[in-house]
Chain A
Amino acid sequence: MRRAVMCDGITKWFGAGDTKVQALRGLNLEIAMGELAMLVGPSGCGKTTLISIIAGLLDPSEGDMEVLGTRPAALTPKERILFRRRNLGFVFQQFNLLPTLTAAENVAVPLFVAGAERRHAVEQASGLLDELGLGGRLSHRPSDLSGGQQQRVAIARALIHDPRLIVCDEPTSALDAQTGHRVMELFSRVAVRPDRALVVVTHDSRIFEFADTITHMEDGRAVGVERGRPGRTGPDEVPSLEGTLRPVMGRRS
């Protein structure tokens, strides 16, 4: 089983002195390639901090981490930016689409960031949107799209540069149940591949069925992992262990 993410005893503090807050407390986690991994837990349990660290947007205060076989701590800041640019895709809770760009242009943004020529990037983005059923909305601005359509545009944006790891923050929380379900159906269909991993932070229990693993978090720790979903034909390495909740063994406990 190829490993996409490995967190070993990750700890994160914010602030200092009396205002010091510990968001993660020696967290251990493994996510395999080809897996759609969900991180769930109550507000303030450290989910957002964890995906920020996995995505290389925050540094852990302590612990060891490996993402796609690379230790972010060993990279220079510039290398880390380039690593993120090439290997990571993002889906945000509020979509974070640029309101002044069309759907196709929004999808092309990661290619712009990577230095692609604009026209080719937009053509490529248009093709992907077409595949995602938004071929008729290429020239629409985000304000002219429904919430579900906006999130599909955001998903296309996360996929356009073919990243190896996609990080999603509450992708369905701004959508109604039916739309959220449809978006996740589409997402799991087009995004899950053996050479890619997806990390989804969510509160929405209605989309748990799409997860290969569900990591439960509490108070800055991973307290258990639930594995598998029925009928999922995901990566062969990931066994279906529906309904089993097993504690994650702490490496540094």
Chain B
Amino acid sequence: METIFPEAGGGSGDSRIEFPVSGPKERTSAGAMNWLALRMLTGDRAKYAALIFAISFSSFLITQQASIFAGLMNRTRSQILDVTDADIWVMDPATQYVDEVYALKDTDLDRVRGVPGVRWAVPFFKGQARAKAPDGQFRLGILLGLDDASLAGAPEPRRMIVGSIESLRDPDAVLIDEAGYHFFFPGAPLRPGKTFEMNDHRAKVAGIVDASPPFATFPVFYTRYSLAMNYVGRERKLLSFVLVKTGPGATAHDLARRIESATGLKALTGGDFGWMTIRYYLTHTGIPINFGLTVVIAMIVGTVVAGMTFYLFTLENLKQFGALKAMGASNPRLVGMILLQAILVGAVGFSVGMGLSATFFLVARTDATRGIVMLWQAMAGTGGVVILIVLMASLLSIRKVLVLEPAMVFRG
């Protein structure tokens, strides 16, 4: 051991004292002190449980609410997401979101087709129809009409549960989403051939599709454009959207700008249209405020409860921290111990919270909640919030220990 012999200062010559030199780094292992910190924390079972509960509760609420919120917002653009073969949606210039459209003129389709860079452009209908099952059950559903010739805008073939997209060419053929099928034909096996009424017209299930769930959990029907016109009756204009595929050498954004300038219509890529729809729901409904409030409350409750409990825990151990200081534990070492305790509480609490959240989404999985899942992004965000919470919770404790005078151990 390296030694120094401080100035004797009047002491007798042979009473030199050895002690380690303080180098750039303290030459001690933190292992035993870290273990000590964890024993101090976990030894007080009640406070440890309270800390874990606070963090778990916050983590669970934040992840669950954020995931549900994101899932709901994603649902608002589900019909846009399900169209994967077109790049651009052309619509009335005043359109604000996908669920409220003002129909285009039939001639607008030809105008769009005339824009250089357009590989193909097809009509796309989106509206509502009242569907009625043979047993009298009825519901409003989302009716999507696909171009008769190309069936462009249909869901991807991999999402067909029963039947094929080509079966839409049969008379009265309709594809229905799985949840809608269960509603109209409860208990029936997933099989094509069932018939029902759509706005008093006959419709026949040609296939069952795993469509993305819409915001309002309506059933989703796919049919040919001409058949959709037949179902919804006679209005002067029925063309909801024109779906466009970009030709070679053009980018979707550039082509969208060209369509807008050439036709005076609004043209957006699928991605942009989806975000425009989400922004509409964010700014025109109370959804973000409600969910945001819950998340903020969860953060506040988590921080306050964890902070107070952690602070009380430190206060109760103040004598012990003082004794450690007197025995030669340095401030950085004590701060390290507190941070280690905080990190352990955060890690265990976060894990428990994620477990609770995963269990919730597993148990709550029904037709009504499909598409709403625990998102890794929500988990990652919650992890960040938990780090923030435990850091804030440990700040008071750290301050208390830093200003602690070790001489207090001698005061009764």
Given contacts A66-B11, A115-B28, A118-B35, contact A87 B327 (CB under 8 A): no
Least distance between A153 CB and chain B CB atoms (Å) = 13
Does A109 sit at the interface, judged by CB under 8 A? yes
Given contacts A98-B40, A117-B29, contact A3 B12 (CB under 8 A): yes
Q: Of B44, B328, B330, which is in contact with the most chain A CB atoms at under 10 Å from its CB?
A: B328
Q: Quick check: which of B2-10, B212-220, B359-367 contacts chain A, the rest being far away? A: B2-10
Cα of A96 to Cα of B7 in the assembled complex, Å: 33
Say yes or no: B19 contacts A57, CB within 8 Å.
no
Say yes or no: A58 contacts B328, CB within 8 Å.
no
Cα of A98 to Cα of B409 in the assembled complex, Å: 13
Instruction: Return chain B residues, CB-CB under 8 Å to A71.
Output: 6-7, 9
Does A184 sit at the interface, judged by CB under 8 A? no
Does A132 sit at the interface, judged by CB under 8 A? no
Nearest B-chain residue to A163, judged by Cβ? B327
Q: Quick check: which of B145-153, B318-326, B386-394 contacts chain A, the rest being far away? A: B318-326
Say yes or no: A110 contacts B27, CB within 8 Å.
no
Given contacts A52-B407, A57-B406, A78-B22, contact A2 B14 (CB under 8 A): yes
Say yes or no: B9 contacts A66, CB within 8 Å.
yes
Instruction: Return chain B residues, CB-CB under 8 Å to A94.
Output: 319, 412
Q: Identify which of A52, A55, A88, A113 contacts B324 (C-beta below 8 A).
A: A113
Say yes or no: A85 contacts B328, CB within 8 Å.
yes
Say yes or no: A83 contacts B409, CB within 8 Å.
no
Q: Is the interface of B mostly helix, strand, loop or mixed?
A: loop
Does B94 sit at the interface, judged by CB under 8 A? no
Does B33 sit at the interface, judged by CB under 8 A? yes
Q: Is the interface of A mostly helix, strand, loop or mixed?
A: mixed
Instruction: Return chain A residues, CB-CB under 8 Å to B19.
Output: 79, 82-83, 85-87
Instruction: Return chain A residues, CB-CB under 8 Å to B188.
Output: none
Cα of A132 to Cα of B12 in the assembled complex, Å: 33
Does A208 sit at the interface, judged by CB under 8 A? no
Nearest A-chain residue to B319, judged by Cβ? A96
Does A44 sit at the interface, judged by CB under 8 A? no
Does A68 sit at the interface, judged by CB under 8 A? yes
Say yes or no: A113 contacts B328, CB within 8 Å.
yes
Instruction: Return chain B residues, CB-CB under 8 Å to A164.
Output: 17
Say yes or no: B9 contacts A69, CB within 8 Å.
yes
For window 10-57 of chain B, which residues contact chain A by CB distance below 8 Å? 10-12, 14-22, 26-33, 35-36, 39-40, 42-44
Instruction: Return chain B residues, CB-CB under 8 Å to A4.
Output: 15
Does B405 sit at the interface, judged by CB under 8 A? yes
Least distance between B338 CB and chain A CB atoms (Å) = 15
Instruction: Return chain A residues, CB-CB under 8 Å to B329.
Output: 81, 85, 113
Given contacts A6-B11, A70-B6, contact A100 B17 (CB under 8 A): no
For window 366-412 of chain B, which residues contact chain A by CB distance below 8 Å? 405-407, 409-412
Instruction: Return chain B residues, CB-CB under 8 Å to A48.
Output: 410-411
Say yes or no: B411 contacts A84, CB within 8 Å.
no
Q: Identify which of B8, B42, B410 contacts A51 (C-beta below 8 A).
A: B410
Does A169 sit at the interface, judged by CB under 8 A? yes
Instruction: Return chain B residues, CB-CB under 8 Å to A66.
Output: 8-11
Nearest B-chain residue to A48, judged by Cβ? B410
Say yes or no: A100 contacts B40, CB within 8 Å.
yes
Q: Of B8, B40, B320, B323, which is in contact with the most chain A CB atoms at under 10 Å from its CB?
A: B323
Cα of A3 to Cα of B32 in the assembled complex, Å: 34
Say yes or no: A82 contacts B14, CB within 8 Å.
no
19 A-B contacts, Cβ less than 8 Å apart?
A1-B12, A57-B326, A58-B407, A66-B10, A68-B11, A70-B17, A76-B22, A82-B21, A82-B22, A84-B327, A86-B19, A90-B409, A101-B43, A109-B324, A112-B36, A113-B327, A115-B32, A116-B32, A118-B35
Besides the known contacts A3-B15, A87-B17, 5 further A-B residue pairs in the complex with CB atoms under 8 A apart? A4-B15, A82-B22, A86-B328, A96-B409, A169-B410
Interface of A toward B, CB cutoff 8 Å: 1-4, 6, 33, 48, 51-52, 55, 57-58, 64, 66, 68-71, 74-76, 78-79, 81-88, 90, 92-94, 96, 98-101, 105, 108-118, 121, 164, 169, 201
Interface of B toward A, CB cutoff 8 Å: 6-12, 14-22, 26-33, 35-36, 39-40, 42-44, 319-320, 322-324, 326-330, 333, 405-407, 409-412
